Amino acid sequence: MDPFNALADLLVYRMMGLPQGNGPADALHFFIMDLGKIFFMLVVIIYLMGWFRALVSPSKVRRFIQGRSKFAARGMACGLGAVTPFCSCSSVPLFIGFVEAGIPLGVTFSFLITSPMINEVAVILLATTLGWKVALLYVAAGLTVGFFGGIVMERFKPEQWVEEYVWKAHTEQSCGCKKEEDNSLRGRHDYAWKETTSLVRKIWKWIVLGIGVGALFHGYMPVDLAQNLGNNLLSVPAAVVIGIPLYNSAIGAIPVAEAMLLKGVGLGTTLAFMMSVAALSVPEMLILRKVVRWPALGLFCAVLTGAFILVGFGFNGLNSVVNLVNGV
């Protein structure tokens, strides 16, 4: 039995006496259930992964990629971007460090695409909320977008749009996140707990907002209307465009995605929305503007927008074929 669902049942349907199947009651039930589940999992997962991250730093990531063939470096950049989600302020020093190390800009952009879109906390939360199938599809799509998105960026020779100071800068620049290495048990605990409290303080309001939007969608959106809106030809581009101004993380987008899938919105539309929210936020773009000029930023956004739309159409089409074969 899901303890968070049981708690929501107890509070909403028994103690408060609200009828099941009623819009406000179902919305409140969804909110209480996801609020408890996501915050509990968030604290536990961030703390456990903090023990691993205590051994990882941006400079180590750079050294690991440096000197590899372009194909290997791009694959490693995507993989490391998925498992080393540094804070947003690290984007600038990471970019400068990669440039100084001679790592091609296409590889650097592959890392910058993958890092905000995929992280182990979001993946585990996604798996516990929507199942491992959806989580693995999201990861596979994100890695693919990161790999080929970097290749497309490289074709346009983005070096011409890098700010001049980047080529002269040194990696001593820091975002204030640098830490002295302490590999003792106490040191790892301190780092993991500091990372947990810091991240929760930073994103809790966006998670609550995401849960609230998901709850309203779950409680008030008619199933037929959601299916019609979520599965027509324009649903995927619309989901990507709507997701761009919504400043949130992949974690905060999970409850909205959960509500969308529960109402019958297409898997591709839902994944495209999540990717857009996680990788195309306005604050992230403004941070990247410090190191690249507007043409590069516009190209970066256009490449990701196109990639997310292709991902959405691809998964919706695949899902339709599977349903057709199964006679659904």
- For residue 172, the model assigns a pLDDT of 44
- CA distance linking residue 14 with residue 315, whole number of Å: 40
What is this structure's pTM? 0.73
> What integer pLDDT is reported at residue 47 of this predicted model?
82
Residue 127 backbone class (left: φ over 0; alpha: ψ -120 to 50; beta: rest): alpha
Quick check: 262 and 254 in contact, CB under 8 A? Answer: no
pLDDT at 57: 63
Tell me the pLDDT band of 277, cut-offs 50, 70 and 90.
confident
Short-list 90, 288, 236, CA closest to 80: 90
Q: What pLDDT does 90 receive?
A: 59
Q: pLDDT confidence of 171, banded at 50, 70, 90?
A: very low
Least confident of 157-166, 172-181, 192-201, 220-229: 172-181
239 burial (CB, 10 Å; 0-12 / 13-18 / 19+) is buried
Residue 203 reports pLDDT greater than 80: no
The per-residue pLDDT for 62 is 72
Other beta carbons less than 10 A from residue 40's beta carbon: 13
Look at residue 174 in the predicted model and tell me its pLDDT. Answer: 45
What DSSP string runs through 34-46? HHHHHHHHHHHHH
| Residue in the structure block whose two tokens are 């999540």 | 274
Please determine, for residue 24, whether its predicted confidence score (pLDDT) is greater than 80: yes
- Residue of 81, 82, 72, 80 whose CA lies nearest to 104: 72
Q: In this structure, which amino acid lies at residue 298?
A: G
Written as six digits, the tokens of 224 are 């037929």
Type of residue numbered 15: M
Between 283 and 122, residue with greater pLDDT: 122
Terminal Cα-to-Cα distance of the chain (whole angstroms): 29
| Non-local CB neighbours of 148 within 8 Å, separated by 6+ positions | 307
Instruction: Supply the DSSP symbol for 21.
Output: T
What pLDDT shows up at residue 275?
Answer: 87
Predicted confidence (pLDDT) per residue in 205-245, tens digit: 878 887 888 888 878 877 776 667 666 788 899 888 888 76
Query: What pLDDT, on a 0 to 100 scale, did the predictor assign at position 94?
Result: 72
Model confidence at 84, in pLDDT bands (50, 70, 90)?
low
What mean pLDDT value characterizes the chain? 80
Cα Rg for the chain, rounded, in angstroms?
A: 21
307 pLDDT more than 80: yes
How confident is the model at residue 151, as a pLDDT?
Answer: 95
Q: Is 326 exposed, middle or buried (0-12, 13-18, 19+ CB in 10 A)?
A: exposed
Q: What average pLDDT score do residues 184-200 get? A: 81
In this model, does residue 89 exceed pLDDT 60? Answer: no
160, 38 contact by CB (below 8 A): no
Distance CA 222, CA 224 (A): 6
Give 111-164 pLDDT, tens digit per residue.
888 887 887 777 887 888 788 888 898 899 999 999 999 999 999 999 999 888
Would you state the pLDDT for residue 308?
93
Q: What is the pLDDT of residue 303?
A: 94
Share of the chain above pLDDT 90, in %: 19
Label residue 143 exposed, middle or buried (CB < 10 Å: 0-12, 13-18, 19+): buried
CB atoms within 10 A of CB 282: 11
